[in-house]
Amino acid sequence: MSVQLTYGINNIFIDEYNLASFSSFEQDDELDFTINNRLRINEKDKFVRVETEIRITTRVSKFLVCKLVTFIDFSVENIKELEDKNSKEIILPPEFAFTLNSIAISTTRGILFSYNQGTYLDKVIMPLIDTSKIRLEKEVDSVGVE
């Protein structure tokens, strides 16, 4: 069964941003990015929150150089149509979850770039992510509005 969903970005929150002091680590060490997303559903208020955490670490020492956590809330007007008839749980179709993940990662990439302007990470741009290779885990939590 195919469902046509009506959705859009409702809110963007910066939950956490940390940048280590320039003198805290070896600057010629290469940097690695770790990106984690978690989707949470709020059926009552008709939104899905994508929590995105980006960690930039040094490759050799694994020193945490920068961390950014965003919450992006997507309003989903017809979220009730995603309810499983047997369990009464909201089940996100994988294609829709991938779309929300892609938008959240791209938005967070832009926020990271903006926050790091004028710092020693000024020219560091998070690489593109192929979200089709992301493994989805079932995690449906109720989340409140902040």
Q: Has residue 138 been placed in a domain?
A: no
Output the DSSP codes for 108-129.
HHHHHHHHHTTSTTTT--PPP-
Please state the φ and ψ torsions of residue 38, each to the nearest 5 degrees: -135, 130
C-alpha distances out from residue 34 to 31, 46, 53, 83, 113, Å? 10, 29, 8, 32, 15
For 120, the domain range is: 7-133
CATH of the domain at 126: 3.10.420.10
Q: Has residue 94 been placed in a domain?
A: yes
- Count the domains in the chain: 1
End-to-end CA distance of the chain: 34
Tokens representing residue 86 in the block: 């047997």
pLDDT score recorded for residue 85: 87
- Whether the per-residue pLDDT at 66 is higher than 80: the answer is yes
Q: Has residue 67 been placed in a domain?
A: yes
pLDDT digits (tens, 9 = 90+) for 9-42: 999 999 999 999 887 766 668 899 999 999 999 9
Mean pLDDT of all residues in 42-69? 95
Q: Has residue 26 been placed in a domain?
A: yes
pLDDT score recorded for residue 1: 54
Nearest of 93, 68, 67 to residue 79 by alpha carbon: 93
| Proportion of the chain above pLDDT 70, given as a percent | 86
**What is the pTM (predicted TM-score) of this model?**
0.85
